[in-house]
Structure 1
Amino acid sequence: MTTYRIEFGPAWPVPPITVDFTDHTAAARQVAEHAIPYLTPKLAELGRPEFADCFFHTDQALTAGQFMWLDLASGRGAKFCPARLTPIDEDAVETHVVADDSNNPEPTDRCGARHHQHPDTVCTEPAGHYRRDVDPHAGPLIIDGRECGGVAWDEPATEVVHGCPPEGSGLTPCCGRTPFELPLGDRISSEAPTTCPGAAAVSSAARP
């Protein structure tokens, strides 16, 4: 099955889209062309207009995705606007559309998890939804009692930080992978301490 319905996190004003992933590169480009006009004003509101120069990236199993912005020259990167991918039975597309138009009420039992850095920010996703790298927490970002746009976040306990590829190289120095090959929950940094387990393996191999 190659056709997927892509639904974006509730904190981001991007409507769903259905895309054929027979050609993965073309599909990612189609998603970006669809979403960037909606993301641009939101990113400007958040003070990050440069993030609009981004691309869409999915996990290998085509269950989740997100947008990525990379600046290899400065060693900076960002991941935002998480998305859920659901395979579509092409023979039942009409039935799927009818189900979407039903009058079923929105679920009232919400997750309620609090952001680890902004405790007034509460997840408004359905209860029991959370799966790391697949279905993050999301909700309005509340700082000092004021709503400052939206935010999606993973629980911080197992965050992995990779070293930024050095100039002239497309591979992370810790585990020798490209940014596209890294798990969705990981991040790249040129400043934060590297926690990638590959770093320990490289260090051990370098010892006499």
Structure 2
Amino acid sequence: MSENHHHRELSDGEVRARALESLLREKGVLQGNVVDEVVDIYTNDIGPLNGAKAIAKAWTDPEFKSRLMANATRAVAELGISGMEGENLVAVENTDDLHHVIVCTLCSCYPWPVLGLPPRWYKDAPYRARVVREPRKVLAEFGTVLPDGKEIKVLDSNVEVRYFVIPQRPKGSENLSEEELAELITRDSMVGVTVLPDVEPKVAA
């Protein structure tokens, strides 16, 4: 899905953040693309690694999975994962018959402790509006084409609950360690806009 730019009114916090960034750049405190690089790290690396760690454990530890499904906030805290925007986490599981996809139709509520910062497309109005009306078409734009018989359930995150998806475990991953499994899991699969590909069997040397 393309990241179209749409004009919208900035929140007070966004205005303050942009003003501060501009001032720091002007004073020479921030060099080049430092802010962009930090945001990219938290968006694609640090945050999603937390979620991947929790999901890999759920795949390999049925008791932890039960706790994760019952109370995700408490379960991820067992792994040292907590923080702002993570007080009311709910984990939902994709299956052969049901696929979940997450959105926040009002703003951009997002489970930061397990997924990092929200990607730009998640905050853009087209995604927020269209994924509710035509989820199958939006998913196809991410390269995710689901069977016609599979139900798609769109879940709307808000200030009271922040969802994240437990994607289906890839076929061929049965012999992988928990750490190796975590490396397969992507941010977008935990939002539900993509699925994880099957794992190619390792060829003996």
TM-score range, shorter chain: under 0.3
When the two structures are superposed, what TM-score results if normalisation uses the length of structure 1?
0.26
More strand by share: 1
More helix by share: 2
When the two structures are superposed, what TM-score results if normalisation uses the length of structure 2?
0.26
